[in-house]
């Protein structure tokens, strides 16, 4: 399997290299792809040096799979070209997520929807992925009516320039400002651009992607907040069901779910935190408790490494699912 990573020098691209190495996919040739400025530089993978190429050269090398994480404009221009070449594209941008003819995939939830006809597959937004990993099992059990979610999102979700802004602020250095205000010792109720309805694009992604992946009948409202944390998104989720639920049964279901790490013991101060989610592929869930003000309603706290399950890990797991379903055919796998 010839596999290309488009945007290999970025934060998600670098994480993809780590996840691919950990998951031992049957890669016969890695094609690292970046801008013309980075072409010719070297990256390490599998104990070997690989030369970074530009998009045109990568296209001519005819990869079987391409993981795109270079922004929506690059995806819109180049993903169709790779797909027309017979390449399976997993795209991390928002370019194709809401297209009616493109699948929006979280493998544990709707991976079985993938078919041989799918050549461009969209990876959901990072905050959506971790929320739906937590909610999908409960929707099957109790049918979700409404979700109220507040996110506490890491600056790594914005990219390397945001990390640099916070580092500069902590050192008292004046530098490039990615955000309209300081992020160190501050929180910004402003993730992505504002829309006419008063919500941000990030907030509406949580709404629209939940409807596409899980159920269009679920009411979702979101507030997305950027916090001065370098890695890991957190979410306070309030979810109302059609019928009453059994909290002990929910804990057991989460405990038995390999995509989830349950951390829920107030007596020992055990609860999810970005500090301990870093570099992990699971979604961490805790602070499970009934909403005593609302019937059939549950509160929870959900944390994940946004560069992992929110991006790189989910993309690689989509490739694994396509191999498992023999959509991507590997002779010795």
pLDDT score of 330: 77
User: Binding-site residues for phosphate, please?
Assistant: 97
The predicted structure's pLDDT at residue 24? 84
Confidence of residue 332 (pLDDT cuts 50, 70, 90): very low
State the average pLDDT for the chain: 96
**What is the model's pLDDT at position 329?**
84
Distance CA 267, CA 146 (A): 30
Report the alpha-carbon distance of residue 75 to residue 120 in Å, rounded. Answer: 10
CATH-assigned architecture of domain 127-306: 2-Layer Sandwich (3.30)
| pLDDT tens readout for residues 289-310 | 999 999 999 999 999 999 999 9
Question: For 300-328, what is the mean pLDDT?
Answer: 97
Helix (H) or strand (E) holding 314: helix 313-324
Are 75 and 91 spatial neighbours (Cβ–Cβ below 8 Å)? Answer: yes
Give which of 66, 17, 11, 28 is closest to 330, Cα–Cα: 28
Active site residues: 126, 233
128-168: pLDDT as tens digits = 999 999 999 999 999 999 999 999 999 999 999 999 999 99
User: For the residues of 51-118, what is the DSSP string, one character each?
Assistant: E-B-HHHHHHT--SEEEE-S-HHHHHHHHHHHHHTT-EEEE-SSSSTT-TTSEE--HHHHGGG--TT-
pLDDT tens-digit map of 204-249? 999 999 999 999 999 999 999 999 999 999 999 999 999 999 999 9
Mean pLDDT of 306-325: 97
**3-state secondary structure at position 151:** strand
CA dihedral 243, 129, 308, 38 (to 10 degrees): 180
- In this predicted structure, what is the pLDDT of residue 333? 40
> pLDDT digits over 3-25, tens only?
999 999 999 999 999 999 999 88
8 Å CB contact between 122 and 104: yes
Instruction: For Cα atoms 36, 37, 38, give the angle at the middle one, nearest 5 degrees.
Output: 90
- The per-residue pLDDT for 120 is 98
The domain covering 2-124+311-324 belongs, at the CATH homologous superfamily level, to NAD(P)-binding Rossmann-like Domain (3.40.50.720)
List binding-site positions.
Answer: 9-12, 37-38, 97, 153, 156-157, 226, 306
Structure tokens of 234? Answer: 């957190």
Three-class SS state of 288: strand
Each residue's pLDDT tens digit, 29-84: 999 999 999 999 999 998 899 999 999 999 999 999 999 999 999 999 999 999 99
Please check the confidence at residue 263 and state whether its pLDDT lies above 50.
Answer: yes
Q: Enumerate the domain spans of the chain.
A: 2-124+311-324, 127-306
Q: Which residues contact 258 (CB under 8 A, 6 or more apart)?
A: 282
Single pTM value for the model: 0.96
Q: Which residues are part of a known binding site for substrate?
A: 153, 226
Asked whether the predicted pLDDT for residue 331 surpasses 80, the reply is: no
């Amino acid at each position: 399997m010839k596999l290309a990573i488009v945007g290999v020098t970025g934060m998600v691209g670098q994480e993809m290299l780590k996840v691919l190495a950990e998951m031992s996919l049957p890669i016969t040739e890695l094609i690292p792809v970046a801008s013309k400025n980075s072409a010719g530089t070297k990256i390490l993978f599998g104990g070997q040096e690989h030369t970074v190429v530009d998009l045109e050269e990568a296209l001519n090398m005819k990869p079987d799979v391409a993981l795109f994480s270079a922004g929506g404009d690059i995806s819109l221009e180049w993903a169709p070209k790779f797909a027309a070449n017979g390449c399976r594209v997993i795209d991390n941008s928002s370019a194709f997520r809401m297209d009616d003819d493109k699948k929006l995939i979280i493998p544990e939830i709707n991976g079985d929807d993938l078919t041989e006809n799918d050549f461009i597959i969209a990876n959901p937004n990072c905050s959506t992925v971790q929320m739906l990993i937590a909610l999908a099992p409960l929707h099957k059990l109790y049918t979700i009516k409404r979700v109220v979610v507040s996110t506490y999102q890491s600056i790594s979700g914005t990219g390397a320039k945001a990390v640099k802004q916070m580092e500069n602020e902590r050192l008292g250095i004046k530098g490039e400002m990615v955000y309209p205000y300081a992020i160190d010792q501050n929180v910004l109720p402003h993730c992505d651009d504002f829309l006419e309805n008063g919500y941000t694009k990030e907030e509406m992604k949580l709404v629209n992607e939940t409807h596409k992946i899980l159920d269009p009948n679920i009411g979702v409202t979101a507030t997305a907040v950027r916090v001065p944390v370098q890695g890991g998104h957190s979410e306070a989720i309030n979810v109302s069901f059609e019928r009453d639920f059994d909290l002990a049964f929910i804990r057991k279901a989460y405990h038995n779910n390999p995509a989830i790490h349950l951390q829920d013991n107030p007596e020992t101060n055990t609860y999810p935190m970005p500090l301990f989610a870093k570099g992990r592929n699971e979604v961490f869930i805790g602070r499970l408790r009934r909403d005593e003000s609302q019937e059939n309603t549950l509160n929870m706290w959900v944390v994940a490494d946004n560069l992992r399950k929110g991006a790189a890990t989910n993309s690689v797991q989509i490739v694994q699912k396509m191999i498992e379903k023999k959509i991507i055919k590997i002779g010795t796998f």
